[in-house]
Amino acid sequence: MHKFKIFQIIFLIIICFEFTDLNSVNAAKQVLSTGIVEERVKDLTTQIHWYKNLKEAEAVAKTQNKMIFWVQMLGDIDGGT
């Protein structure tokens, strides 16, 4: 059952990439101001509980029957990444 869920997620990601219009993404006409970006990052980092320990997140997700949203990035999310 677990492998089937993983397959579903991978399939959905592939579908999302298939229907993404990369030309419109690359041709962005407006760059957001620093103030708007800072506000959005503040909202993102304060309104969502982010686990720093994957094992803890897995345990909580299992008890709540929920999936884990994994974000991996270089740099600091509230810095100038």
**Is position 4 within any domain?**
no
**Is position 57 within any domain?**
yes
Domain count, the chain: 1
* 76/81 Cα distance (integer angstroms): 6
**Is position 50 within any domain?**
yes
Q: Which domain holds residue 69?
A: 40-73
**Is position 18 within any domain?**
no
**Is position 47 within any domain?**
yes
Q: How many CA atoms lie within 13 A of 17 on its CB side?
A: 5
**Is position 54 within any domain?**
yes
**Is position 55 within any domain?**
yes
**Is position 49 within any domain?**
yes
pTM > 0.85: no
pLDDT (tens place) for every residue of the chain, 81 residues total: 577 777 777 767 777 666 666 555 555 567 778 888 888 888 877 887 888 888 999 999 999 999 988 877 777 666 655
